[in-house]
A and B are shown apart, each in its own frame.
Chain A
Amino acid sequence: MWTEKYRPKTFDQIVGNLKAKKEIMEWIDCWKENKPQKCLLLVGPPGTGKTTLAHVIASKFSDHVELNASDKRSYDIIMKTIGEASATTSLFNNGQKLIILDEVDGLHGRDDRGGVRAINRIIKEGRHPIIMMANDPYSNRIKGFKSKCKVIPIRKVHTNSITALLKKICVLEGIDFDDAVIKDLAKRSNGDLRSAINDLEVMAQGREKISSNDLDILSQKDNVSNIFDSVRTVLKSKTFRRIKDAMRLEEDPNFVLELITENIPREYEKNYEIEKAYEMISQADLNFGRAFNTRDYTYWRYTFDFMGLGVALAKDETYKKFARYGTSTVYTLLSKSRSKRDLRDKVAAKISERLHTSKKEAISQFPYFETMFQNDETAYELANYFDLEDSEVKLFRSRKIKIKKSKKKKSTNKTQNNKSTPSGLYSTTKSRKSSKNQQENEKSEKSNNKKSKNKDTNTRKTKLKKSAKRDVNTDKKVKQTSLFSFK
């Protein structure tokens, strides 16, 4: 592996990224002088030298531990590996031990459960120097701790630097080369030094000279384009061939459609162009629908034509400007509004259960419930009826419901047993559903009903008390999350 063989060992050998290197060196010096620093987050595309940098940095410290994507990185595992490391101190260099966490944006939601929490905890302890690496600076996974880190962008390596390095390797390996071929190779790599070296190794295998013919044996990797490049091609170009090529993607077509849609108004300036482009988007979506409804996925090919060529041809002529493209605001909205949506869905689920409707229909009735909840008495009754907790009531009204005192007294005797009982009314509707309880006879059902009605009011009371404690923190949040504004 040439990429390992020629991996730089010192800062001087690392190509490009002068500013980043300088910052990192200062960071190391501070640690050496025993001044704790923020943890480093190296962000940049693959093959630009993040891992190399980290290892060079590691050589400056006496000891280090590393966890990368090939390790499972759940809370326990991270705490065990790194927690141990941070508890023990090395005898040299002020006992500092470098912690390297590679590919932190690749933390898996399920398999690496709690990984982000563990990282946060380690950052907070802050006794040891930490370096983390990530590809995607906007990844949701690193959002949680990005602000606590010193973010150092690692940029793509310049083509000329890659060319120079490739030539050096050729000389060292004793391979004859064509200047043009090396240059082409460097260009193709698009700033990814590692892939350039890999490609060179593939081409040079068992040969003494590489020529332009050898370029053909390289995989078709670069034909499958990056999704943002494709979006850019669609919006910037009108050339049939280029757009057809750009649509040859190995991405979820829905995601591609979403990204093109998002960026249409960022590129196209005339409203009738936007209108025309959106007509094509609409057609593309129609074909998705057809594919989905008929389960005949040949319709997908039209989708790509509509969202590629169709959108591209909607503009009068190509714009000569720089437009900043982004991912769809829908995704950011989704992640931002998570707690709001959770609350909404929880309440909708409870209401739809009691009203024999779908959640969708329940949500469409929310505005009326909101009005009803303005009345204390109705609010109290409805909250009881739907078994809503305090925090859930906040969806409909900002004030707490005043509870009548007479009813409060009753609740004290039965407080113990309702921890395990879900509200009675709720459970009867449930029991109707579960097939086990089908054989239950009517009598017990009825008596059950009576009992549960009593319990229901009591459950509510204790829930009020309990949740009052629990919700001290969340209350403030919920206040703002009321979905509809009150007049």
Chain B
Amino acid sequence: MSGPWVEKYRPNNLEEIVGQDHIVQRLKRYVDEESMPNLMFTGPAGVGKTTTALALAKSVLGDYWRQNFLELNASDARGIDTVRTNIKNFCRLKPVGAPFRIIFLDEVDNMTKDAQHALRREMEMYTKTSSFILSCNYSSKIIDPIQSRCAIFRFAPVKGNHIIKRLEIIAQKEELDIDIKAIESIVYFAEGDLRKAINILQASASVSEKITEESIHEVVSKARPQDVKKMINKALNGDFLGARNILREVMVVQGISGEDMVTQIYQEVSRMAMQDSIDEETYVNLISSISEYDFRIREGANPRIQLEALITKFLSKSRTD
């Protein structure tokens, strides 16, 4: 019984965590002192925010970590009601067998502002019994009063050599037939996202006995929906309605998030420039639009509308070939 490797090989203690040394060093001090302030982990996906939170909780709370640890996932309902009832009920009880209790809230940037304000009160009221660990992708979306109540840790994308190290350990334990070139290409595609790297590895291992650079490429290109490519081509050919329909299909039906779409568009445009299907000047122009709309997606209300606006920027660019 192995299940997903991302869970199987999730580090259980702080020592095992790779690529975030400066953060781990500071967190260890909290373990020694048996006390910690409210923490906020911010950074992109797959860099170890949740893993660090879980590992820290296990280290600080010891054997009784399950009883003293509350995890509220972004997929759980987290309106004001949850904050007011669930969290309050948890905080009110005294810690058992541990110095204090820990509440871990994932993706706080997706909580409504009202819920965040409700949370802010809870964080103040129960400082004696409980500590909060909040994680988010963008700290800018967290209201200031919460930020000022937390020690903020910024997680950077995991560096290539750290990802290689981790993948090699997994490959060894799973007895995989894989060469260093294949691992390097995983690192290239993962872009600092260790979860993605491990998923690519497991996906490749499940389709072929021997993992090579080619099989990695196959897995990754399969995982990259062709729709984005089609959409960009339609836009470059001046067919706005066609491109918009694809965009809506991908975002509404498949549920791809705005951030993921921007990433995919960026990657596709880069690939086109590498293959000389657009010239350098067009590339720079497009990248400047993409960066602008990447920003607007975070500031605006509806990512899909912003992305539709981004596609219009492709309409005036014609291909060189």
In the assembled complex, A358 has its CB within 8 A of some CB on chain B: yes
How many whole Å from B229's CB to the nearest CB in chain A?
14
A84 to B250 alpha-carbon distance, docked (Å): 48
Residues of A within 8 A of B260 (CB): 364
In the assembled complex, A69 has its CB within 8 A of some CB on chain B: no
A348 to B305 alpha-carbon distance, docked (Å): 24
**Are B195 and A282 in contact, with the CB atoms below 8 A?**
no
In the assembled complex, A88 has its CB within 8 A of some CB on chain B: no
**Are A385 and B315 in contact, with the CB atoms below 8 A?**
no
**Are B206 and A279 in contact, with the CB atoms below 8 A?**
no
Contacting residue for B302 out of A271, A285, A359, CB 8 A: A285
**Are B75 and A435 in contact, with the CB atoms below 8 A?**
no
Known contacts A329-B248, A433-B70; A363 and B75 CB within 8 A of each other? no
In the assembled complex, B86 has its CB within 8 A of some CB on chain A: yes
Stretch from B154-162, B216-224, B271-279 at the A interface: B216-224
Contacting residue for B206 out of A257, A291, A374, CB 8 A: A374
A381 to B110 alpha-carbon distance, docked (Å): 32
A274 to B314 alpha-carbon distance, docked (Å): 11
**Are A274 and B196 in contact, with the CB atoms below 8 A?**
no
**Are A435 and B296 in contact, with the CB atoms below 8 A?**
no
Contacts between the two chains (Cβ within 8 Å), count: 204
Contacting residue for B222 out of A286, A292, A487, CB 8 A: A487
**Are B316 and A272 in contact, with the CB atoms below 8 A?**
yes
Interface of B is mostly: helix
**Are A285 and B301 in contact, with the CB atoms below 8 A?**
yes
A152 to B248 alpha-carbon distance, docked (Å): 33
**Are B6 and A367 in contact, with the CB atoms below 8 A?**
no
Residues of B within 8 A of A288 (CB): 300-302
A341 to B238 alpha-carbon distance, docked (Å): 30
Contacting residue for B300 out of A258, A261, A286, A344, CB 8 A: A286
In the assembled complex, B312 has its CB within 8 A of some CB on chain A: yes
Contacting residue for B45 out of A289, A364, A435, CB 8 A: A364
**Are B110 and A435 in contact, with the CB atoms below 8 A?**
no
In the assembled complex, B244 has its CB within 8 A of some CB on chain A: yes
Contacting residue for A274 out of B67, B113, B202, B240, CB 8 A: B240
**Are A292 and B305 in contact, with the CB atoms below 8 A?**
no
Which residues of chain A (328-386) have a CB below 8 Å from chain B?
329-330, 333-334, 337, 340-341, 344-345, 348-349, 352-365, 367-372, 374-375, 378, 381-382, 384-385
Q: Mark A412-437, 1 if CB is under 8 A from B, else 0.
A: 00000000000000000000110100
Residues of A within 8 A of B180 (CB): none
Contacting residue for B75 out of A285, A333, A352, A385, CB 8 A: A352
**Are B70 and A365 in contact, with the CB atoms below 8 A?**
no
In the assembled complex, A33 has its CB within 8 A of some CB on chain B: no
**Are B309 and A349 in contact, with the CB atoms below 8 A?**
no
In the assembled complex, B64 has its CB within 8 A of some CB on chain A: yes
Chain B: which residue is nearest A440 at the CB level? Answer: B67
Which residues of chain B (61-111) have a CB below 8 Å from chain A?
63-64, 66-75, 86, 89-90, 93, 96, 106-107, 110
How many whole Å from B56's CB to the nearest CB in chain A?
13
Q: Mark A1-34, 1 if CB is under 8 A from B, else 0.
A: 0000000000000000000000000000000000
**Are A358 and B74 in contact, with the CB atoms below 8 A?**
yes
Q: Mark B1-19, 1 if CB is under 8 A from A, else 0.
A: 1111011000000000000
**Are A361 and B45 in contact, with the CB atoms below 8 A?**
yes
Contacting residue for B254 out of A271, A439, A483, CB 8 A: A483
Residues of B within 8 A of A439 (CB): 67, 96
Contacting residue for A271 out of B110, B207, B238, CB 8 A: B238
**Are A356 and B253 in contact, with the CB atoms below 8 A?**
no
Which residues of chain B (150-209) have a CB below 8 Å from chain A?
195-196, 199-200, 202-204, 206-207
Chain A: which residue is nearest B208 at the CB level? Answer: A375
In the assembled complex, A445 has its CB within 8 A of some CB on chain B: yes
Residues of B within 8 A of A479 (CB): none
Residues of B within 8 A of A274 (CB): 240, 312, 315
**Are A353 and B75 in contact, with the CB atoms below 8 A?**
yes
Residues of B within 8 A of A140 (CB): none
Chain B: which residue is nearest A457 at the CB level? Answer: B1
In the assembled complex, A293 has its CB within 8 A of some CB on chain B: yes
**Are B255 and A344 in contact, with the CB atoms below 8 A?**
yes
**Are B1 and A381 in contact, with the CB atoms below 8 A?**
yes
Shortest 10 CB-CB distances between A and B: which pairs? A367-B223, A358-B74, A385-B3, A288-B301, A375-B206, A371-B203, A368-B199, A289-B300, A282-B309, A275-B312
New A-B contacts (13) at CB < 8 Å, excluding given A435-B90, A438-B68: A265-B244, A279-B309, A282-B309, A289-B301, A337-B252, A356-B71, A361-B45, A368-B200, A381-B2, A432-B70, A433-B70, A438-B93, A442-B67
Q: Interface on B for A, CB 8 Å cutoff?
A: 1-4, 6-7, 45, 50, 54, 63-64, 66-75, 86, 89-90, 93, 96, 106-107, 110, 113, 141, 195-196, 199-200, 202-204, 206-207, 219, 222-225, 238, 240-241, 244-245, 248-249, 252-257, 260, 293, 296, 299-302, 304-306, 308-309, 312-313, 315-316
Could you show 13 A-B contacts with beta carbons less than 8 Å apart?
A257-B302, A275-B316, A292-B301, A349-B75, A354-B4, A354-B7, A356-B50, A358-B106, A369-B199, A370-B222, A374-B207, A435-B90, A438-B93
Q: Interface on A for B, CB 8 Å cutoff?
A: 254, 257-258, 261, 265, 271-272, 274-275, 278-279, 281-282, 285-286, 288-293, 295, 329-330, 333-334, 337, 340-341, 344-345, 348-349, 352-365, 367-372, 374-375, 378, 381-382, 384-385, 432-433, 435, 438-440, 442, 445, 483-484, 487
